[in-house]
Amino acid sequence: MIFIARRSFLIVAIATILSFLYVPAASAHLQKRHASRRDTSLSDVYTFLSAHNAIRIQHGADSLTWSYTLADAAQLWVNQCEFRATNGQLLDTSYGEIIVAGSGEVSIETAVNAFVADEGTFRRSSYLW
């Protein structure tokens, strides 16, 4: 149960960060699972990027690429296992953050759709860039 909760928080944390930040490619190719990369499979990476980029293209925004550095920062946040807002900033980084909550395991698509559904409350001026 804790594993599922942590995986759900990781999905939410990574999806959240990706929704606010364009990240250049960290490498020319995606690596298979790596100890410092936690449980983010190549399939999840593809799903994160596909879900976000499908929305971003509708708004004329650049496509996102995966950043393992950013994924590691999100994992550090998840490891704290605290469900709390951080005023839009992940830890002491320049990465943005917003939280989506749900019961059970939250799919990547569900998290992205929740961000999109909340679009009307977004205020660009209230976030650090």
Condensed to tens digits (0 to 9), the pLDDT of residues 52-84 reads: 999 889 889 999 999 888 888 778 777 876 666
Say if residue 74 is exposed, middle or buried (CB neighbours under 10 Å; 0-12, 13-18, 19+). buried
Flag residues of the chain having pLDDT under 50.
1-5, 19-36, 129
What CA–CA distance (Å, rounded) separates 79 from 45?
19
- Tell me the chain's radius of gyration from C-alpha atoms: 14
Domain coordinates in residue numbering, the chain: 2-126
Instruction: Report pTM.
Output: 0.58
The encoded tokens of residue 86 equal 């951080």
